[in-house]
Amino acid sequence: MKRDFLSVRDFTKEEILEAFELAKDMKLDRFKYSESLKGQTLALIFEKPSLRTRTSFDVGIQQLGGFSLYLSPNEISLGKRESVYDVAKNLERMVQGIMIRTFGHDIVEDMAKYASIPIINGLTDYSHPCQAMADFMTISEIKGKFEGLKLCYCGDGNNVAHSLMFAGARLGVNVTIACPQGYEPNPVALQLAREDARATGAKIEVEYDPFHAVKDADVVYTDVWASMGQEAETEKRKQIFIPYQVNQKLMDNAKSDAIFMHCLPAHRGDEVTGDVIDSPYSVVFQEAENRLHAQKAVMYKLMKK
């Protein structure tokens, strides 16, 4: 049966843990799986630009023995030049999987509904599941466990925050979102995460005081204050989010062995200070590398015949 990966919630806890073990094995020996997707092609649809998503999927499918096909906004222009339905029905006859990085989450849901091949969400305004997979793989490598850990995310309750909540709920990690009033996570996403958390005992909370939120955190995480498509709000958001900047004073309120994470790209001096992101406890580049390995595991699970 066809499987898609539109949200972290599409995988059970057991499937996520299996994917992490597979990703770690792939990280140890990139040649071991070099023919596992031999002859298969992954279409890469980009409505938003990317460094890590483009590189990790492009390199990842090739390391698994397959091919990638890059499709830019000019070539498709989803919903304008061609409908999502027509794109899905065309591509399903020519490639074996589709990764899509776009704006509305409804676009990836429609693509999954219409296409008979696996669809992977490379980012939407609602969800960024591949990032969360890399994030929690990194946490596993460093902390060696999930249960009982606390992750504090400081900033906008955006797509990254949603996926961190979903993954934390699945894996038993307590997740606190520290954000200004009016910038909370989507209420449906919050409700879904809390429902999932009942099975693992994880706490999913929203706080408005960042110093209280970060207390006893094992992981401190942040993201840019204005995401793609919100550029017009940049200056307004800077004033609102200044109290949520991750600086050394804030980090000092977390656990002494806390790590710092960021999905990148980062704006040093805005959501994080240079002394934090470039510190020994920052794991942002290990986290970025793990996009490659985690996504290889996802492609393997979905596309392996």
Boundaries of domain holding 214: 131-287
- Tell whether 203 and 269 lie within a shared domain: yes
Contact 57, 85 (CB under 8 A): no
Q: Looking at the domain assignment, is residue 3 inside a domain?
A: no
- Tell whether 193 and 110 lie within a shared domain: no
- pTM for this model (two decimals): 0.97
- Tell whether 101 and 138 lie within a shared domain: no
CATH code of the domain covering residue 119: 3.40.50.1370
Q: In 10 A of CB 127, how many CB atoms? A: 24
Q: Looking at the domain assignment, is residue 100 inside a domain?
A: yes
Q: Looking at the domain assignment, is residue 89 inside a domain?
A: yes
- Tell whether 117 and 147 lie within a shared domain: no
Q: Looking at the domain assignment, is residue 258 inside a domain?
A: yes
- Tell whether 182 and 244 lie within a shared domain: yes
- Tell whether 123 and 185 lie within a shared domain: no
pLDDT attached to residue 228: 67
Contact 258, 248 (CB under 8 A): no
pLDDT by residue for the chain (305 residues), tens only, comes to 899 999 999 999 999 999 999 999 999 999 999 999 999 999 999 998 899 999 999 999 999 999 999 998 888 877 677 899 999 999 999 999 999 999 999 999 999 999 999 999 999 999 999 999 999 999 999 999 999 999 999 999 999 999 999 999 999 999 999 999 999 999 999 999 999 999 999 999 999 999 999 999 999 999 999 876 777 888 999 999 999 999 999 999 999 999 999 999 999 999 999 999 999 999 999 999 999 999 999 999 999 98
- Tell whether 107 and 251 lie within a shared domain: no
- Tell whether 145 and 238 lie within a shared domain: yes
Structure tokens at 264: 């990148």
Q: Looking at the domain assignment, is residue 143 inside a domain?
A: yes
Beta carbons within 8 Å of 99's beta carbon, 6+ residues apart: 42, 43, 44, 45, 53, 57, 119, 120, 122
- Tell whether 114 and 192 lie within a shared domain: no
Long-range contacts (CB closer than 8 Å, 24 or more residues apart) made by 234-240:
237/156, 238/270, 240/180, 240/183
pLDDT attached to residue 77: 72
- Tell whether 45 and 153 lie within a shared domain: no
* Catalytic sites, residue numbers: 101, 128, 131, 223, 263, 291
Structural domain total, the chain: 2
User: Which 8-state DSSP code applies to residue 79?
Assistant: T
- Tell whether 91 and 226 lie within a shared domain: no
- Tell whether 36 and 70 lie within a shared domain: yes
Q: Looking at the domain assignment, is residue 43 inside a domain?
A: yes
Structure tokens at 303: 């596309």
Q: Looking at the domain assignment, is residue 2 inside a domain?
A: no
Q: Looking at the domain assignment, is residue 229 inside a domain?
A: yes
